[in-house]
Structure 1
Amino acid sequence: MSADESRETAAVQFPGTASDWNGFDRYDFEVDGRPVLVVCPRQAAPGRPWVWHGEFFGHRPAPDIALLKRGFHIAYMSVPDMLGSPKAVKHWNAFYSELTGRYRLAPKAALVGLS
């Protein structure tokens, strides 16, 4: 593995309260005044892929667990009852910037749609 690949898959240190989620490290913290959480794989896949839950984090967790085992991060920001309004999008943009900037996750997320 090259030095670039090692940096790309190295663990990222997230702030906040650490806990266990189905055998993976979960971090709860705030971004833009909103509660967020990130669940980390044991080792990130190349490119640091991630999945973004718009709502209902934790409902039917089997797909998330499978993705974590493959090196994906799982992210969620709580913006209940905002229904995709401009205010919700502002918060989501701040979360996206934090995840892709400070924590170097991939610029393209896989979105989870569940209703």
Structure 2
Amino acid sequence: MNRFIVWLMVRGMVIWALLSPGQAEPVRFGFPLEKVDQWHGHQRHVFEVAGKTAWVVVPDRPREGRHWTWVTEFPDAFLERTGVPTLLKEHGVYHAHVSDFNRLGCAEQLQVMSAFYELMVQKGFAKKPVLIGLSRGGFMAYRWAVAHPQNIAGIYGDAPVCDLKSWPAGQGQGKGSPSDWQQAKKLYGWTSDEQVNAFQENPVDDKPLAILAKHRIPLYHVVGRSDDVVPVAENSAIVERKYRQLGGSITVIAHEAGHHPHGLDDPAPTVNFIVQALQQANR
């Protein structure tokens, strides 16, 4: 066979391989200091915002409008059970995170989260993501959502902390975490019990829930009935009762578990909630 023809065939095969699904040259979004790597088998774009490391994972077949989920904490935990792989593989939903560990929704963290959100929207992502909050990440999700209810499609809380007096303070039935409680008091500038009790911006409190209900934000919680770290009665149960009284939409799924594992054996209900919330909010 003519060497030139052989060369053309080889060249064509190489080009086909490079451009085939999963092998194509990554599209750059133009993030600051953007790098591309792999995250659980998917292409991930890592960048910096507000001095923090952030990233967004690209789904197999991105949907129009760049719908996305935003996990606030523990981004590698219980992925299969929380539905993230299904969203990436079957629904074209991007998945994003900005790393600012254990800041518990303090004012400085909310500024970081806002800078991250603004950059994502600037780069063409949907204006209303679904926030995913696992454990203490739920508190962070609620704090930012209440400050920016016009910018979210919904909240998925999994064993979410909804009252700092429950966790990490441990003032009720739960174990609490003394070291994290000291961290929380430092972050919020609390030096007395009076200051702690005067704080009315926990997700269980009336004002935050009224704001979310006014903006018709759908809520979805997954909880373990035997959770002794973030007890349901002190957290999700209060949110559920009050939010329903306010006319808000909330789904709570309880399963036989403690604080772990997060998610469900079959994450279909979670996936359905996220997809529907994104579609309805980003029309």
- Which bin holds the TM-score, normalised by the shorter protein? 0.7 to 0.9
How far does residue 27 in structure 1 lie from its aligned partner after superposition? 1.7
Aligned to 1:83: 104
- For normalisation by structure 2, the TM-score amounts to 0.35
Q: Which has the higher contact order (CA 8 A, sep 6+)?
A: 1
Larger Rg: 2
Aligned to 2:154: none
Runs of 4+ in 1 over 6 A off after TM superposition: none
More helix as a share of residues: 2
Percentage of matched positions with identical amino acids: 34
Superposition RMSD on alpha carbons, in Å? 1.5
Summarize deviations over 1:21-68 as a string: whole Å, max 9, x none. Answer: 222101221111111111111331122110000100011112111111
Aligned to 2:125: 105
**Which runs of 5 or more structure 1 residues have no equivalent in the other structure?**
1-10
Q: Aligned residues, how many?
A: 104
Pairing 1:38–2:56 present: yes
Aligned to 2:94: 73
More strand as a share of residues: 1
Aligned to 1:49: 67
- SS of the counterpart of 1:113? strand
**Which runs of 5 or more structure 2 residues have no equivalent in the other structure?**
1-25, 136-283
Q: Which amino acid in 1 is paired with 2:128?
A: K
How far does residue 12 in structure 1 lie from its aligned partner after superposition? 5.3
**1:111, 1:23 → 2: CA distance?**
22
- SS of the counterpart of 2:44? strand
Please point out which of 29, 32, 39 is paired with 1:21.
39
